Amino acid sequence: MMQRDAASTMLGMTVEHDAPGEAVVSMTVREDMLNGFAITHGGLVFTLADTAFAIACNEDERVTVAGGADIAFLKSTTVGQRLTARAIRRVVSGRNGLYDVTVTDESGDVVAEVRGRSLTTNRPHPR
């Protein structure tokens, strides 16, 4: 999946860990990722979490997509900081899944918490 993810590549994301039901993805905040208050744009914090979520829930030959997600922003960050998103599956029931993602900074402080809901489709992954 990540080989075709142009958005995550453009943002400089690195997959640190990828296993069924879990993933760790990191990214260094660049100047062009800041909002008007000189802090990391919340949408980019969410994008990092969403990428880890996507990797964690796509563990077989079927495409799994987000059915929804909620985020709590807990700490701001700025240019030069390294953010890491750790996603873990909580439960899968039929085609539905529930995943938690914690985004931390380089000191281990929690930047954001995400709860994602997945939906597994019948579509195969594109080749």
The CA distance from 83 to 95, in Å, is: 30
pLDDT digits (tens, 9 = 90+) for 42-61: 999 999 999 999 999 998 88
pLDDT digits (tens, 9 = 90+) for 65-79: 999 999 999 999 999
Predicted TM-score (pTM) of the model is 0.94
Residue 126 has pLDDT above 80, yes or no: no
Share the mean pLDDT of the chain: 95
The CA distance from 102 to 112, in Å, is: 6
The CA distance from 79 to 20, in Å, is: 32
